[in-house]
Chains A and B, each alone.
Chain A
Amino acid sequence: MEAKFHFPDPSVIKEELINKYPAKVAKKRGKSIVINDPETVPEVQANVRTVPGIITQRGCSYAGCKGVVLGPTRDIVNIVHGPIGCSFYAWLTRRNQTRPETPTDENYITYCFSTDMQEENVVFGGEKKLKVAIQEAYDLFHPKSIAIFSTCPVGLIGDDVHAASREMKEKLGDCNVFGFSCEGYRGVSQSAGHHIANNGVFKHMVGRNNAPVEGKFKLNLLGEYNIGGDAFEIERIFEKCGITLVASFSGNSTVGAIENSHMADLNVILCHRSINYMGDMMETKYGIPWMKVNFVGAESSAKSLRKIAEYFGDAGLKARVEEVIAEEMPKVKAIIDEIRPRTEGKTAMLFVGGSRAHHYQDLFSELGMTTVAAGYEFAHRDDYEGREVLPNIKIDADSKNIEELKVTPDPELYNPRKTEAELEELKSKGLEINGYQGMMKQMEKRSLVIDDVSHYESEKLIELYKPDIFCAGIKEKYVVQKMGVPLKQLHSYDYGGPYTGFEGAVNFYKDIDRMVNNPVWKLIKAPWEKEAGSLEASYVTQ
């Protein structure tokens, strides 16, 4: 039974959220704050510049490129070309777990590499120092790959990281060196960096190794970064089902696997925002279709497994998937039955990421909780409204600056895994082949959808809705908790997880139960603040 949340009048709320802004800002923010209707799906302004001075959750292009997409691959030496800070802040802070097969396998995840650019490098150019750094990294570690990441000053002073990389790649011979122009000022958020990363990985890594891969059902997992061990749980489930994971982009991944990834027969996409480019490019060049799945939520995981089995169209796989689900679900159900009475009817708000604010709604719904407002930090309209709006998205100056690779079918390796007719048939069965429905169709009527929520708006939302839990990131964590509302971090998981698959769902249920029912929230007021006691002394001297 759904305990329905009675939504306050959203137009009143919207007015409250923007009335303090200067007029121009209010007008702009108004377009990013939308009252949802899952039937008609109104337009959301997204992927536009944040107004300077607004306290935003957003980060930069470098964060999206190095931090998100390239960071989790364990055997690349990632050298950040720039002043020290950029590399320092991205050092281990995203919790990308990795599991080398042997203790001696290359693993650079715990390292932080930087050219530590100095004033003289900014004045006279830093390419020379960069090349020295690449040589030193090679001499010390002999890695298979070295990736170079440009930070803001690099683009401005005109250092050519691509030329430097090419030169060093040739010089070193057995090390693949490549660069990313992911300066922090590119685009309007991390999202630009995702796109730049996809382009670079596609150009410089995918397709370098054509060795055949063993296995009957071979797929790549795209947009899964193994935060808190999420990829480990998905790997466990795939293995149990007999599905071969060729490469993950990029949680718990290796250079070798990514270079060989075009040998898979399907790409499944978790985080649509950060990796959809890769899905499209691999489809065009190699003929591998991609399909949107979601392994956040037990029901969603089961559904995604069934979709994968349906894609491969193999009776044995379908049967095995059903067996696995039948084996996993009772454990999940036992926990949810115990927890749900304590979470039923509670409310959640999610403002995070480019897909998490959507996916985690599945888990909350399994807990009987309603998402009253949600939004992304760096998504585009298609992540809200669905990919059918893609042709209508206006390309503005900030997006134009991000390279769009011209991809054509590979003369030798292009091999459509399914015919057009087969794909159409799969789509008719509800598989999101090369498609994504977006967040809004799943959200309730009158709920609020807000892109790039500001600090001011989130505080107002909490005052007005008093949600039982708020999901965002580290910068918001203690602000919200100071207001007496627990905040679940959905970037770092508050150092817990995994939250994917069946075991992950159980972890999440337990964490949310603990958070929303924690006695600490009732201890905030001191006893003497609760009751105005008499100030007369209890004991007096005679």
Chain B
Amino acid sequence: MAREGLTINPAKTCQPIGAMYAALGIHGCLPHSHGSQGCCSYHRSTLTRHYKEPVMAATSSFTEGASVFGGQANLLQAIETIFTVYDPDIIAVHSTCLSETIGDDLQQITKKAKDDGKIPEGKYVIYASTPSFVGSHITGYANMVTGMAEQFSVSTGEKKEQINIIAGWMEPSDMREIKRLSKEMGVKIVLFPDTSDVLDAPQTGKHELYPKGGVTVSELQSSGDSICSLALGCISAEPAAIALEKKHKVPFETLDMPIGLSATDRFVMSLSKAAGVAVPAEITAERGRLVDVMADMEQYFHGKKVALFGDPDHLIPLTEFLLDLNMKPVHIVSGTPGQRFDKRMQEILERAPYANFKNGLNADMFLLHQWIKNEPVDLLIGNTYGKYIARDEDIPFIRFGFPILDRIGHSYFPNVGYSGSLRLVEKILSALMDRQDRTCLEEKFELVM
């Protein structure tokens, strides 16, 4: 039954949580939710469950009065309170459906805060408009990343020998891996946002309100002088690259997030060309190890049907990787809308004309479940909410994306790069083989696989 009004079991959430996540990737930044308390509380809770880490953020604590008369007074008071009590270097304000509906103008209010002397010398307030009734959490992430690029970057007129890498929504582990690969290649990069060493902080016996990680203000400022930007993700990263091109004429290239062999190949090639450096032998060897496993274990992947759901910049390279593995991505769902997303998926799905793909409104997990009932699959890939479908239909399940509320690992072990892809291959194999070991006939129980 086609639905037009009712979304059941969404494959997306709302913009502000993405903005909050992105803002945590700036060093010394306290995200601030301009809306009622529930938004901030829900976003912090969800991010905390996903990372098992402190997720600090403040709220404008709207009440009915503020909703009627506008939230300016609340935000001005919040800015003063936050700088006095929590002393961040930066407050990153994002809006909510509430403040957007009443028409609060964050640019105007932050300007007023500055004019009124509420922002101490050397401190910053940045903002992003993130109405929950547009796009998804991915849109909110992109908007906050664009906000940090636009509002911090400057051009001195002198180019710097560095490349901006704009991270699409990925895990701290992925960001750490992007930095490692770039270092291995000898390329100086400015990676933003960067939640490594923020949302994977060590246990030290002390709580750091502002952990050591995050892109710094001076790095962000210098992004206007970089020789180019590589945007890792056409939905979650490209808008920031476009902003830097518009503002400072920093040329950019948009890449798929480097998940899987082909997307990582393109990333490594682009980085190598942009910086004019050769790809070091160690990275070629990393690639070789991945291809080696793909070749050696090919029989276990071949023809296996996969259903996947999640976010655009994950689904695009993941689908491509499944095809590289000779698997069959038959059902793909994302609640996030976007023409760029559609187009890129159509390109990739040319190799899989049988696939069901739907994104945007009413593209939800209830639809995915119906598709799976009509055409069963061997493997399900998606966030934690997939466990209900996996249990109902008895399908091996790999957690991937956001949020993952019931397992650890995503913050520590990457999915990007050749080593991240190798981890994915291992996960897929283990899920399929564990299943075979658990359910096969006694006489078909294999020792060597």
Contacts and interface: CB of A to CB of B under 8 A. Distances in A.
A64 to B, nearest CB: 9
Interface in B76-122: 77-82, 84-86, 96-98, 101-102
A119 B205 CA distance: 46
B385 interface: yes
Given A130-B5, A482-B206, A83 B74 contact: no
A85 B37 contact: no
Interface in A407-465: 454-456, 459
B59 A56 contact: yes
B41 A58 contact: yes
A286 to B, nearest CB: 32
Nearest to B9: A112
A239 interface: no
B55 interface: yes
Given A122-B101, A136-B5, A153-B101, A51 B204 contact: no
Nearest to A520: B203
B6 A137 contact: yes
A484 interface: yes
A173 B321 CA distance: 51
B37 A119 contact: no
B56 A455 contact: yes
Given A89-B45, A118-B134, A477-B48, A84 B10 contact: yes
Contact of A60 (B36, B57, B203, B361): B36
B335 A85 contact: no
B326 to A, nearest CB: 34
Contact of B61 (A51, A91, A133, A525): A51
B65 interface: yes
Contact of A52 (B48, B77, B84): B77
Contacts of A397: 64-65
A37 B14 CA distance: 46
A375 interface: no
Interface in B249-272: none
B442 interface: no
A174 interface: no
B17 interface: yes
Contact of A184 (B37, B58, B85, B208): B37
B61 A113 contact: no
A111 interface: yes
Contacts of A152: 35-36, 62, 67, 96-98, 101
A130 B7 CA distance: 11
Interface of A: 20-22, 25, 49-63, 79, 82-93, 110-119, 121-122, 129-137, 139-140, 151-153, 155-157, 184-189, 397-398, 401, 454-456, 459, 473-475, 477-484, 524-525
Closest 4 CB pairs of A and B: A60-B38, A85-B14, A132-B5, A53-B81
Interface of B: 1, 3-10, 12-17, 32, 35-39, 41-46, 48-49, 52-67, 74-75, 77-82, 84-86, 96-98, 101-102, 131-134, 136-137, 201, 203-208, 335, 361-362, 366, 385, 388
Given A482-B54, A482-B206, 13 more contacts: A53-B59, A55-B86, A60-B41, A82-B132, A83-B133, A85-B16, A89-B46, A92-B385, A151-B97, A152-B62, A184-B38, A456-B85, A482-B204
